[in-house]
Structure formats: C-alpha cells, structure tokens
Amino acid sequence: MSIAIGKRYTCSSCGCEIIVTKAGTGPLTCCAADMQIKEATPLPSSD
C-alpha cells in the first residue's frame, strides 16, 4: 500500500484524522486497525 502526500486518512474507531506530509509504504494504523482514505466532500453548486 502506498501512502501519498496530501491524502487525508481517518480511523473508523476513534475518528482520528491525519493528513500525510511524507510519502511512504505500508498501511497506516490506529486503534489496531488500518486507517481508510477520507473521500473528498463535493462542493455545492454555484447557480
């Protein structure tokens, strides 16, 4: 698993969020489980 700079990861157990500032390999873990990439929130339309 590749860790990319600028991606936001979140823990499903405790809600902790991190932003990656240094690329690397391997899974990010928190609360003894792998962290998941947080999806981007869509911006509201500008009608």
- The Cα 1–Cα 40 span in angstroms is 20
Average pLDDT of the segment spanning 16-28? 91
How many other C-beta atoms can be found within 10 angstroms of the C-beta atom of residue 40? Answer: 7
- The Cα 4–Cα 35 span in angstroms is 13
The one-letter code for the residue type at 4 is: A
Residue 31 DSSP code: T
**Angle value at C-alpha 23, between 31 and 11, nearest 5 degrees:** 20
Per-residue pLDDT, 36:
92
Average pLDDT of the segment spanning 19-24? 91
Whether 40 has a pLDDT exceeding 90, the answer reads no
- Delineate the domains of the chain, giving CATH numbers in brackets: 2-37 (2.20.28.100)
Per-residue pLDDT, 47:
65
pTM, to two decimals: 0.75
